[in-house]
Structure 1
Amino acid sequence: MPFKINNEALYPLYNMPHTQLAIEYCVKVVELWPLQTAQEMENDAKYMEDLQVGFSCMMARALLRLPDEVDISVAEAVYEGMDEIPGCDPAVVQALKKANQAYDVMRDYSETNNADLFFKAADILGIFIDAHVEKSIRSVMKSVTHLIRGSSGFEFDGEASKNVSFCYATTVDPLQLTGRYLASVAVCDGLMNLMCDGIDDLGEQVIRVLPVLLYANELCEQMAIPPTCMGDAALLQLVEMRDSIRHMDGIVPVEVNSFCERTFLITANMMIPQAGLEWSYHADCLRWDPKKAEREAKEEDERKSKEALAEKFKLTKDDSSDSSEASDVAETEDTEDGTSERDSK
């Protein structure tokens, strides 16, 4: 199953508004690299923990096919190491544990380029992969590894190169970041085509693309791009749309080329906005200053208190004015001969 990207399919996306907006958020994260302060590093560590919790929650929902029964608070508890949670279905806990195990296994890929990790993660998630599909997936990953190493400018002979992992240099150039991200999406779309080939059940397809999404973030790390995440509802929609396209006439069979322009465009147009949202959130997390946040919260409380006091004073003043006006009216209600009722008595 060959894999060859048609770059002509990527170019139209460069100038799309949602792509440009997403890359703007991407730049806001990358421009902070390398992180300079202890607070930024602490914020990033917290962000990465939250990312894994969210990712594991999404994967567990896919594994169980129960999107409404895996709560993020339960995912946090399992991430922290809890094996039993009162009132929670043990199946949910087990699914979350498998999701975290797969996440942890795949996290080493960017450092090793070891394709075995992909298949180990898939096995943890209960995914069976045919030998011919496995061979094609390994071929795609090997090609990507050679491409990244070839662009590094370093050369190693023989077996030495197998133990060295290279990453692209960090850049804040929007054009370069766009090209890198779209290339990563193209690779992942091709892997999704391989993983879902011959699978008709949509729920099963959702499960089978989970290792691809884990690989996607490892590839992003090698390309000096911040990680991304996709919610379970968006993932299901993506799989449904890709599946409908794969059944259309004129689609090149996976055996000919696992890269498909039509599925790529769907995948890219679904993943780009999701990536932009994640990058925007990531940038906010990195820039978060607890002292500034506390100061702003205090200022906001003071502002609200002053507004409430001003409103109360206004109401009190209005009430006093109304009472005074009522009194004046009462005193000027005279009898027909010009004297007040009180005076006439």
Structure 2
Amino acid sequence: MAALKQLPATTAAIEVGKELTDLWPLHDHVQIDNDVKYAESFQVRVTRQFAIALTGEDVTMPDAEYVYEGADEIPGRPQTLVDALLNANDAYDTSVDFSEDGDAERIVESASQLGDVWDDDTVAAARELIAAAAAEGSALTADDLPGRYALGAAAFAQMLALTAGDDEETALKAALPAVLYFNEFDEWLGVPRVFLELDTVKQLREIAVAGPDDGGAAKFIDVLAEPAATEWRKHREDVLWDPAEAKKKAREEDEAKSKAALAAKFAHVKDDPGKETVEL
């Protein structure tokens, strides 16, 4: 962990992360509401990715939003897809409490809710890993964001390395609880969550399974840094979003487009020096 926190990719990501974490604690009611909406959107995005991995179906954002809002069926959509979204939301909701109490059983239960994607050996190893990582995390100081980020990444890599599968599809399903663990452990550490596309999860898992030797740890940090920074910028922008200012900007943009369209419409009309100038 001491080595990982010194890597350039860690430093670059933390610079972006600090711009987000420096906003807290939030006091403005608009920003607080924005953060709640961000958290809801984050869950929808994650559960959509999980459902794609679990079914191989083309799960859409409207599908994921509909189920998140309480639907247990979607007209015209396969029930297997809906069931996968329901299971993904159950697993997500179960894992969220881990950031509060650090109970490894939250993650184990999440894995079960995703369809028993972990075997007994993986469950036993995961429990040991979670306990060890929590002990390390408890020793870190509150202002050591690079150290906490590095520990979260290292624990994620170790958890991914535990996942097994006879084929890529099975291995990806086994990696899903590790993604939940990573984000909730980061939350427990005071590090913002990171949204990961399935292709990125696959890439990270391959690096983790190969092991930390020969630059594997640095490769893992390099791959993780980009989605982390991207998500943290998005989170910050979402929190700081001002609906009144956004409405004003949209109105100004509409007016500018209307003026441009009107000017283009009459661009072919030649000027008459004898006519009074009219401002469009």
Matches within 5 A, 1:162-181: 169=142, 171=143, 176-181=144-149
Q: Structure 1 residues 221 and 260, CA, compared in 2 at 3 Å: closer, same or farther?
A: farther
Q: May I ask how many residue pairs the two structures share in their alignment?
A: 273
Cα distance in 2, alignment partners of residues 237 and 23 from structure 1:
22
Question: In the alignment, what sits opposite 1:57?
Answer: 48
Question: Is 1:185–2:153 an aligned residue pair?
Answer: yes
Structure 1 length as normaliser, TM-score? Answer: 0.73
Structure 2 length as normaliser, TM-score? Answer: 0.88
Contact persistence 1:60–1:70 (CA under 8 A): yes
Question: Is 1:79–2:68 an aligned residue pair?
Answer: yes
Cα distance in 2, alignment partners of residues 132 and 239 from structure 1:
18
Contact persistence 2:163–2:174 (CA under 8 A): yes
Matches within 5 A, 1:183-222: 183-196=151-164, 199-222=165-188
Question: In the alignment, what sits opposite 2:195?
Answer: 229
Question: In the alignment, what sits opposite 1:289?
Answer: 242
Q: How much does 1:116 deviate? A: 0.8
Give the alignment's Cα RMSD to 1 decimal: 2.3
Cα distance in 1, alignment partners of residues 18 and 85 from structure 2:
32
Question: Is 1:148–2:107 an aligned residue pair?
Answer: no
Contact persistence 1:217–1:227 (CA under 8 A): yes
Cα distance in 2, alignment partners of residues 260 and 121 from structure 1:
30
Contact persistence 2:5–2:146 (CA under 8 A): no
Question: Is 1:277–2:230 an aligned residue pair?
Answer: yes
Q: 2:59 aligns with which of 64, 70, 85?
A: 70
Counterpart residue identity of residue 148, structure 1 = G
Contact persistence 1:190–1:260 (CA under 8 A): no
Runs of 4+ with deviation above 6 angstroms: none
Q: How much does 1:284 deviate? A: 0.6
Q: How much does 1:11 deviate? A: 5.1
Cα distance in 2, alignment partners of residues 226 and 261 from structure 1:
29
Q: 1:117 aligns with which of 97, 103, 106?
A: 106
Matches within 5 A, 1:36-51: 36-51=27-42
Q: 1:135 aligns with which of 118, 121, 124?
A: 124
Cα distance in 2, alignment partners of residues 309 and 128 from structure 1:
60
Q: How much does 1:70 deviate? A: 0.7
Q: 2:115 aligns with which of 122, 126, 131?
A: 126
1:84-115 Cα deviation digits (max 9, x unpaired) = 11110000000000000000000000111111
Q: 2:17 aligns with which of 17, 26, 47?
A: 26
Question: In the alignment, what sits opposite 1:338?
Answer: none
Q: How much does 1:142 deviate? A: 1.2
Counterpart residue identity of residue 179, structure 2 = L
Q: Structure 1 residues 265 and 237, CA, compared in 2 at 3 Å: closer, same or farther?
A: same
Cα distance in 2, alignment partners of residues 83 and 95 from structure 1:
11
3-state SS in 2 of match to 1:86: coil
Which is further off, 187-196 or 304-313? Answer: 304-313
Counterpart residue identity of residue 51, structure 1 = F
1:207-262 Cα deviation digits (max 9, x unpaired) = 1111111111111112211111111232234345555xx3xxxx6xxxxxxx6675
1:3-50 Cα deviation digits (max 9, x unpaired) = xx6x44x1562x24xx44432321221111011111001000000000
Counterpart residue identity of residue 182, structure 1 = A
Cα distance in 2, alignment partners of residues 148 and 308 from structure 1:
59
Question: Is 1:305–2:258 an aligned residue pair?
Answer: yes
Cα distance in 1, alignment partners of residues 80 and 216 from structure 2:
33
Q: Structure 1 residues 271 and 114, CA, compared in 2 at 3 Å: closer, same or farther?
A: same
Cα distance in 1, alignment partners of residues 221 and 231 from structure 2:
15
Q: Structure 1 residues 195 and 260, CA, compared in 2 at 3 Å: closer, same or farther?
A: farther
Q: How much does 1:190 deviate? A: 0.6
Cα distance in 2, alignment partners of residues 117 and 271 from structure 1:
24
User: Considering only CA atoms, is the larger Rg found in Structure 1 or Structure 2?
Assistant: 1
